């Protein structure tokens, strides 16, 4: 196994693969750069930025972006808007690093432009029927990218690989020795309060992805209130539920990433019921009282085994 660690997507990423060809990892890192040029909402050179600033005009975009937007809309529909790709008008009001909290009036104004149903995809043409709508794919992009990296590695003859995009983990083929990859589920506490790789449980996965969303990162406390980055599309403010973190295990990283945020917003009971209704998904939810809840397949079915 050889590895490459690099900074991209505002986080530290690692790609590991069983290969003797360093150029394969070079190609994978370069692919990440191409994805950023495609999907960044803040880079004026990106395709998504151009779409967001088209003022409602039908816009011909790269075929890959159009297809991905259409896919993202499917996730929005499946969770009844608990995840909404048009939250960009609201998310850009918040700055969790600078501890900037928007006014309720500004949030209310931005929420008028949050509705994934106003996005229309026709082939390679995407239209934001609301000229002030703003697509933000950050809640699902890393899953799409991780799957793309694994696909590239497979095309280059790699049988065993691990991709970690800032905690969004996707693996292929198990370890070279034939064992499953061990992927930790971290304790729901801020990184600065945890030793590196401090987990409360481990998942054994040969092929698939594990993604966790929680209210503990990109968060701050002010006047006794916790403000975190998982915003509820119904309110424009941090979701207030009984979930500290939700981990989704799925065959693809797109599925794992596409559902985690919505599960936090749904609350524990609805989140577990939703995951149980989707045969390809398993979930581990940490509730705010410290209870750890999991779907029926966790710990009993290969390839997702919970090792406490």
Secondary structure (DSSP) of 185-251: EE-SS-GGGS-TT-EEEEEEESSEEEEEEESSSSEEEETTEEEES-B-TTTSSB--SSEEEEEEEES
Top-confidence residue, 191 or 212: 212
Is 140 domain-assigned? no
Confidence grade of residue 190 (pLDDT, cut at 50, 70, 90)? low
Residues 184 and 295 in one domain: yes
Is 31 domain-assigned? no
Residues 124 and 202 in one domain: no
Is 19 domain-assigned? no
Residues 219 and 120 in one domain: no
Residues 188 and 302 in one domain: yes
For residue 60, the enclosing domain spans 47-128
- The total domain count for the chain is 2
Q: Is 225 within any annotated ligand binding site?
A: no
Residues 226 and 302 in one domain: yes
What pTM value is reported for the model?
A: 0.91
Q: What is the pLDDT of residues 43-53, one digit of tens each?
A: 999 999 999 99
Q: Is 257 within any annotated ligand binding site?
A: yes
Is 20 domain-assigned? no
Report pLDDT for 69.
Answer: 97
Q: What is the pLDDT of residues 241-265, one digit of tens each?
A: 999 999 999 999 999 999 999 999 9
Residues 109 and 187 in one domain: no
Supply the CATH number for residue 115's domain: 1.10.3980.10
Q: Is 184 within any annotated ligand binding site?
A: no
Residues 190 and 122 in one domain: no
Residues 284 and 205 in one domain: yes
Element (H, E) at 307: strand 305-307
């Amino acid at each position: 196994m050889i590895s490459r660690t690099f900074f991209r997507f505002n986080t530290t990423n690692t790609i590991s693969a069983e290969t003797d060809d360093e150029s394969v990892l070079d190609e994978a890192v370069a692919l990440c750069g191409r994805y950023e040029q495609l999907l960044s909402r803040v880079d004026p050179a990106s395709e998504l930025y151009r779409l967001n600033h088209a003022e409602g005009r039908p816009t011909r975009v790269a075929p890959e972006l159009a297809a991905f937007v259409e896919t993202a809309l499917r996730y929005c529909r499946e969770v009844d808007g608990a995840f909404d790709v048009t939250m960009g008008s609201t998310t850009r009001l918040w700055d969790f690093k600078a501890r900037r909290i928007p006014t309720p009036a500004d949030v209310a104004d931005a929420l008028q432009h949050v509705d994934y149903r106003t996005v229309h995809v026709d082939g390679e043409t995407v239209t934001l029927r609301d000229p002030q709508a703003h697509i933000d794919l950050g809640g699902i992009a890393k899953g799409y990218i991780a799957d793309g990296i694994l696909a590239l590695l497979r095309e280059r003859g790699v049988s065993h690989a691990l991709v970690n995009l800032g905690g969004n983990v996707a693996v292929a083929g198990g370890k070279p020795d034939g064992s499953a990859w061990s992927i930790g589920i971290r304790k729901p506490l801020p990184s600065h309060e945890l030793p590196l790789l401090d987990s409360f449980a481990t998942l054994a996965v040969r092929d698939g992805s594990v993604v966790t969303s929680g209210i503990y990162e990109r968060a701050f406390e002010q006047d006794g209130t916790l403000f975190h980055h998982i915003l509820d599309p119904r309110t424009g403010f941090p979701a207030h539920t009984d979930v500290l973190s939700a981990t989704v295990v799925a065959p693809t990283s797109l599925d794992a990433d596409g559902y985690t945020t919505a599960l936090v917003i749904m609350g524990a009971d609805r989140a577990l019921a939703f995951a149980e209704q989707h045969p390809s998904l398993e979930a581990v939810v940490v509730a705010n009282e410290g209870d750890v809840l999991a779907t029926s397949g966790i710990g009993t079915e290969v390839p997702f085994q919970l090792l406490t």
